[in-house]
Amino acid sequence: MESKELLLSVKELAVSYRTSEEIVRAVNGVSFSVNRKETLGLVGETGAGKTTIAKAIMSILPDPPASVDGGEILFEENDLLHMPEKEIRKIRGKKISMIFQDPMTALNPVFTVGDQIAEGIRIHENVSRKESEERAKAMLEMVGIPSSRYGEYPHQFSGGMKQRVVIAIALSCNPELLIADEPTTALDVTIQAQVLEMIGNLKEQMGTAMILITHDLGIVAEVCDNVAVVYAGEIVEMGSKEDLFDRPAHPYTNGLFAALPSLAGDQKRLKPIKGLTPNPANLPEGCKFWPRCPYATEECRQENPGLREIGPGHFSRCTRKSQEGC
């Protein structure tokens, strides 16, 4: 089936940031795949490496200090890491687009929102200025903004409206893959719901696959098909949404769920994960989670287990959980 065709495959991706003082190992051997029309959620705490993964796929890592130390990013069987910049530009914004986390910095304050949408259409679709303007106005209408506001500037829009403009830019060329980097973080709850519903509807209309980066498990439950839990630059658990919510296996995944408030039962206090995420410039030996894990053993301190299949399509980076269950 077309919906199950492989679109993107990331294999053993490793990214570091190098300065004169230290090497920050942000991504350490990450592998996952995205099928056409499916949504993958990348979940984890701030600093886990989620945005670095997204920027590596988009080929927009700052160089220096960023360095891709290994791996492959195969998009339609072409390795993006070894393509010349000229070819990457034909893909970036056309076949792969990104919704950035902060619309305030994603939009250029000296150009009208309409011109910023139309620019990408002109570059990638090779159409006239008039046609690009008409299509940009149609995109504004599609994301719920009157086309009459085509000539207004970003400062004339609210935060939610700015995010809608960023979404319009990202979807203007009907991309095959959309990367959404915490697209609702800066918005209030009501606007969050509207934006998520709009992204979901547009994704269905256009048949677009999506990678959703978030730390909100509620959003994951609503939007995603599959989930990868990222910790210290590694995927520690991966599977379908049902696997992660009904049968969480890794201690970190269980910790994330335990830290959520619940309306069921008589819960009086949340259970936060003890400790802090490790410094990526000084990662612990063995399993990266062992300093915070209540089940850590001497084996965990010495050996970092690989992802093991504990059920059909369900993987966990933990020997104890994969053998003994939760």
Please give the span between the terminal C-alpha atoms of the chain, in angstroms, as a whole number.
34
Q: Which helix (H) or strand (E) holds 193?
A: helix 189-206
Contact status, residue 238 vs residue 310, Cβ threshold 8 Å: no
Q: pLDDT tens digits for 248-272? A: 999 999 999 888 777 666 667 778 8
pTM: 0.89
Digit-coded pLDDT (tens) for 142-200: 888 999 999 999 999 988 889 889 989 998 888 999 999 988 776 777 777 877 887 88
Residues 259 and 288: their CA atoms lie apart, in Å, by 20
Q: Which two tokens stand for residue 126?
A: 């090779």
Say which residues have a Cβ less than 8 Å from residue 239's Cβ, sequence separation at least 6: 226, 227, 311, 313, 314, 315
